[in-house]
Structure 1
């Protein structure tokens, strides 16, 4: 995810990181070369004059822009919902850590439970990013739980099960009031709901046919556009067509990128930073020194 202060408007014109230029550069070069060829041939294709003007492209452009806008909105809804679900994870882990530290009996060692909450956030990130199930879990969870998580289909669910068993043991030992245990169980249910919501987003992409239609429409539009403009604007055709194609190709690439918000591309959610935030917050509640906050690199990229 790109994390940076908003630069000066002049600098913003030349920003490369996160602008998707490198991703759509081959398509842009193809359209530019095609436009130059159309200008050199004066709109002729195999000795046949392609009689197009700007009128149909005005209608097609409006329809395509609406189509792209709908795709962007659908992708951003998934991105924003994923971010809200991770915000809920932070809230619920803080609530559970506070309750475990203040509502249990004084002789209860609550640190393993609080570290287990950090382990849940790490396991949830690992699953959503298809990383090794046990990555960054050492020191946060018991060895037997880590071993089970390593081969589990849903490691975060196993961590939640262990956290629930910890609550049951405290309740059966008389170290946690029954009503308070019920309240903490509701918070665990909230973590489970957030996990399920993120799994729904990760496992249910937008319909592939929708992507194909949009992709084909954008490419056909940009490939035919030089023939419709060459007679009216002449040598300016490559410049105008390149600008229009950049808009369409970049918006399509952006919607494709944020459709899956849990990846490691520049505009995806910064899951490592979110897990680090949970880790720092809960360790401070334990009275420990939190690890240093993640620092974006020289290109302001934090993933």
Structure 2
């Protein structure tokens, strides 16, 4: 995730980060510029269309549909940001619930072996969830003296959650924790699986294909017809104008595509690896 100072305007304007859409759109912007030049040249030099040509009136169409395309893009970016923010809230809940579980276990457990088990296994849930959501495969992981033989073909966070619950149940059966304490611990462990399911829902349910496809086609047709009308009034200045309009519209769509899946490795995705590291640090401090 990119860290920045929101008040530093000059940095925003003149710095092109590796995740900036300008870098990604340069090839398409060059092609759009060439296309705009060809259309402008044909209208002004080759065909020499008159000022009263009906082609000039295509700008009316752009004015009418411009408002529609702006509404579509606003809805698209808002929907993508909602998914990004919801993912951040779930990971924030995972941080808090991990701390709460560690605090309660620190009060309940006196045996150092039991405390050490949870000290290592609670952070491993966040670590495996981060890898699970980012599609990073880990078949066998050794965590500070705990041999966690994780089945590569099964749901890895669920396997960690099962180990945590099994250990809590064993503590209850052996009489190390009371029934009320076991119920409290169980509620915290259940929240782990709830958070995992919510994050999987965000990751595995992209925006409907027909909606995303329609926006891309809409932008493409809008940009392809833009030079025909503006060549009459702007001449060869149509080229930078059309390229800039394409940059703005396409950038909004690219940004929405990037943040709608907040658990990947893009520059603007959530810092889940750092959050998992913080959970490990805090749990080890508590236990």
Alignment match, 2:195: 194
State the distance in 2 between where 1:44 and 1:153 align: 66
Residue 254 of structure 1: SS of its match in structure 2? helix
| Partner in structure 1 of residue 128 of structure 2 | 123
Asked if 1 retains the 8 angstrom alpha-carbon contact of 2:261 and 2:269, the reply is yes
Give 3-state SS (helix, strand or coil) of 1:41's partner: helix
User: Is it true that 1:79 corresponds to 2:80 in the alignment?
Assistant: no
- Cα RMSD for the two superposed structures: 2.1
Matches within 5 A, 1:13-52: 13-17=13-17, 18-42=19-43, 51-52=55-56
SS, match of residue 268 in structure 2: coil
Structure 2: stretches of 5+ with no match in the other structure: none
Q: Is the 8 A contact 2:120 2:146 kept in 1?
A: no
Alpha-carbon spacing, 1:276–1:108, altered in 2? closer, same or farther (3 Å): closer
Which position in structure 2 is the counterpart of 1:97?
102
Could you state the TM-score of these two structures normalised by the residue count of structure 2?
A: 0.91
Distance in 1 (alpha carbons) for counterparts of 2:54 and 2:27 = 25
The match for 1:237 is: 238
Greater helix share, structure number: 2
- Which residue is 1:212 aligned to? 213
CA deviation string 1:111-138 (max 9, x = no partner): 2112111100011011111111347x42
Take 1:16 and 1:84, find their aligned partners in 2: how far apart are those partners? Answer: 29
The reply on whether 1:139 has 2:143 as its aligned counterpart is yes
Query: Does the CA-based 8 Å contact 1:119-1:140 persist in structure 2?
Result: no
Is the Cα–Cα contact under 8 Å of residues 124 and 156 in structure 1 kept in the other structure? yes
Local SS of the residue matching 2:40: helix
* Distance in 2 separating the partners of 1:120 and 1:46: 68
After TM superposition, give the deviation of residue 152 of structure 1 in Å. 3.7
Distance 1:85 1:37 in 2: 51
Match of 1:299 in 2: none
Is residue 163 from structure 1 mapped to residue 168 from structure 2 by the alignment? no
- Measure the CA separation in 1 of the matches of 2:194 and 2:45: 60
Instruction: Output the CA distance in 1 between the equivalents of 2:240 and 2:261.
Output: 32
Ranges in structure 1 where 5+ consecutive residues have no aligned partner: 287-303
Rounded Cα–Cα distance in structure 2 between residues aligned with 1:62 and 1:44: 32
Aligned-partner Cα distance in 2 for 1:285–1:255: 39
- State the 1:108 CA deviation: 6.0
Quick one: structure 1 residues 40 and 107, their matched pair in 2 at CA, closer, same or farther if it must change by over 3 Å? closer
Runs of 4+ with deviation above 4 angstroms: 43-50
Contact kept in structure 1, 2:137 and 2:152, CA below 8 Å = no
Aligned length: 282
- The residue number in structure 2 matching 1:6 is 6
Q: Deviations over 1:215-273 (max 9, x none)?
A: 11111111111112111122321122122111101001111111111111111111211
Shift of 1:60: 1.1
For residue 138 of structure 1, give the secondary structure of its aligned residue in structure 2: strand
Structure-1 separation of matches of 2:145 and 2:216 = 46
In structure 2, C-alpha distance between the alignment counterparts of 1:153 and 1:24, rounded to whole Å: 39
* Counterpart-to-counterpart distance in 2, 1:190 and 1:269: 20
